[in-house]
A and B are shown apart, each in its own frame.
Chain A
Amino acid sequence: MFNSKSKTQFYLKIYYMKGLKIIVLAKQVPDTRNVGKDAMTEAGTVNRAALPAIFNPEDLNALEQALRIKEQVPGTEITMLTMGPGRASEILREGMFRGADGGVLLTDRAFAGADTLATSYALSCAIRSIGEFDLIIGGRQAIDGDTAQVGPQVAEKLGIPQITYAEEVVKIDERTITVKRRLEHGTEVVAGAMPLLITVNGSAAPCRPRNAKRVMKFKNAATPSERTANPKLAEVAEGRPYLDIKEWGVANITCEAEQLGMSGSPTKVKNVMNIVFQAKESKVLGDTDNEINDLMQELISNHTIG
């Protein structure tokens, strides 16, 4: 149904369905794809000042999947949600230029220093404040942390099912969504009941470009802080509610302070090392029962599994 190869089907709109409410999780990340010498600080953390801030690539893949659903199910509304410093509103505008309807920036000093646990806690609290939703779609992982933990943890905290490593939404109806997942050696098609969370793999369709008209329309979309800093933005926004980007701090969501930021983050960086993977020896195993049995024994005995 969403396969771009079958064009006639792609343009079939599902008018009998009510519009969906989709939340797209996105993160502004340092562009680690073109790193220079000063990409890391002495302390071993990412030197954010030296790297341009970009829309996390797999979150763009996620946005594209949301936009395709919106194209097919009229009345669908896409809200982007991001947590980060004030300038992370840039990616909300980027999302709006591509078709998202609006955005929420979660920003507060209290959120700073969050690991994946505290981040997913803050995001899940913000999602409860946004209200009802049918789908949450995010990228598989961010290129600065590479954990792939935030999406799944958000789903757990909200108590909803999740489909990870999604490559393509193949079918959607009022209750369920069917998704093709990209696995290491193949694909798998699974269905889940909505509301549900999906994390999208980088192998999914790339995001569409910014649209000229939408750029002209939303270029002055701003958060209250941005309007305070630049009164012209406030002036332009008068009578244009679509230019409002929500900016929420701790006070705007229902949460427990100790689960946020540093205090909510059990992860501590002890040491950072450069590691070069070297495979010195390798074994090729056949698919006989004996050989598989031997491998299992070996993996259990050296505690790789079990």
Chain B
Amino acid sequence: MAVHTANAPAAETAVKKESKLASLARFREMGLLAFIILLAVGVQIRNPSFLTVENVVDMATNTAILSILAVGMMLVLVTRGIDLSIGATLALSGMLVAQIVSANSSFSPLLAVLTGIGIGIICGLVIGGLVSWIGVLPIIATLAMMNIYRGFTYMVSDGKWISSYQMPESFVGIATSSVFGINTLILIALFIYASAYYFISHTRTGRQIYAVGSNPESAKITGISEKKILMLVYTLMGGLSGLCGVLWVSKFASAQGDTASGYELSVIAACILGGVSIAGGSGKLGGVILGAVLIGILNNALPLMNVSPFWQKGIEGTIILVAVLLNVAVKRGVERNHLLRRRI
């Protein structure tokens, strides 16, 4: 009897056709890539200056910071968390480092980058502590710390901007110089991808992050310390935000109180487009980078196609909503097909 009732829903769904959408799931990243290529071809037809070397390099440098942050955000999302404070952390680290280098121009660029990362790590440690040791919900903890870090940024800057003429050449060079003909920002981003790939796929700790995200209870029983993992991902996120703060200030040659305000939403959007599940446990590096590239292309291509800048937000919102809903539809199709297979 019990067996019969358990089979009933399966038999019911078996009447339905096999979902065609499900085949998309296997090629999620490919689908995203195909969409990006289609978009690029479309834009290229409308405006031939889109796929010039100059514009592509420009686009890559503009996307580098977004994609670095997206890599960190992916790890946070994988553990079922969210970090809304990264824009504020970025601004705080950028502002503090800009003040240091404008006060003594002999400050070495490498030291500036390390200082930025250090500030970011401290910011991340505070959030990690709140989330893992005290057990505050990530969205609330990062919301509160976002306010606090943003307030600190305004306080230390006293409402003033630090502009390019106050920064030494060497500091601005961090993001604008090039090595072997390739912009340093792109090189830094590639380095981050490579180390993230190694960390996620080939180290024990990297796999533990996914274990905690997909099933915290089992992870705990397996002997993984959830607290340490949470601490780690928020600290990593903070460190990456700190790094990006220095890169941002160096790239745009200006540090302001409202630097990168609301940027966290673009980063989260890139992750969602890249197929990271907000429910935790799943997310691929390749997808996230493609998601960031897609947002970068949109930001670059819409002005080239003479689309009014005021349409940009609306288009971005529509694409995110459609991508997220399509993702769910695909997943439902996959599950339906699994039920079909079970009947045989």
Q: Are both chains from one complex? A: no
Please report A residues at the B interface, Cβ cutoff 8 Å. Answer: none
